[in-house]
Structure 1
Amino acid sequence: MSIKLENVGIVVRDLEATISFFTDLGLTVLGRDTVSGEWADTAVGLDGNRADIALLQTPDGYGRIELFEYLHPDAIESDRTRPNEIGMHRIAFSVDDIDSSLEIAARHGYRPLRGVATYQDLYRLTYLRGPSGIIVMLAEDLRGRG
């Protein structure tokens, strides 16, 4: 048996704002659709669901996220997750320049939870709370720098 990670799905409040954030960071939109019907009810396990969706991909072609904005039933607000909570934790991206990536995030109104840390002179990294409260980790690999 083989297995391959296809994507990570994330429910968001505002699909357009979330797409804007992730495309500004460098992801590209592979496709968009509105999904509903019996097949969606069966697959998702939620009767009468209808959602606008977008599939985004990282520039390397491997990482994908699928964003959902539920039109019906209404999305349910939940408490913001904390980094130490059990369950879905965060989405992480390797970036070439963390400072430039943080400038992009700031233009969207998102800033690090605390600051940028250096891990054993190998990585500079940070967590920020992005669209719909998503925790986003940005990490810059410092190996190979002059």
Structure 2
Amino acid sequence: MQIFATFEYSPLLELAISELKARDVGEIYAVPLALRNEDPRILDTIHRSDGVSYIDKGFILAFLLATIGASKGFVWEWGPVIWGLIGAASGIVLGLAISWCQIAYKRRRTRLRIRKGTKGDVILIVTCDEGQVHVAKDILWDHQAIGLAVTE
């Protein structure tokens, strides 16, 4: 039987592996997961959406500021069309600036976290006999496994 468990990379993972080896539970295989290094796309498509986009806030602010500009443009000198276009352009620029600042802050925070030694998650695969499954599950849960699955 195989037991799949996920852990954050920490000393508890090392303790779990040591305790499994001490109890002679079976074969142990650890696979570290790589952290995501891909930059977000400018526009999301129908076929691939990562949930992060530079332009979403810009479109929302462009709509809001164009509406305000067009309605106030009836009173102002240049008219509603020009003020609507000015509002739309300034909304896109403002939204892109906000998105750029947020992404720059996240990158900086991620780089600092990686520099401090934070790693990704680790998948631990334990192959053992059917009688040892309960012992291995207890050890893994005691050492703060994030998730656990047993297969035959």
- TM-score, length-scaled by structure 1: 0.28
Which one scores higher on RCO, CA 8 angstroms, separation ≥ 6?
2
Structure with greater strand share of residues: 1
Structure with greater helix share of residues: 2
- TM-score, length-scaled by structure 2: 0.27
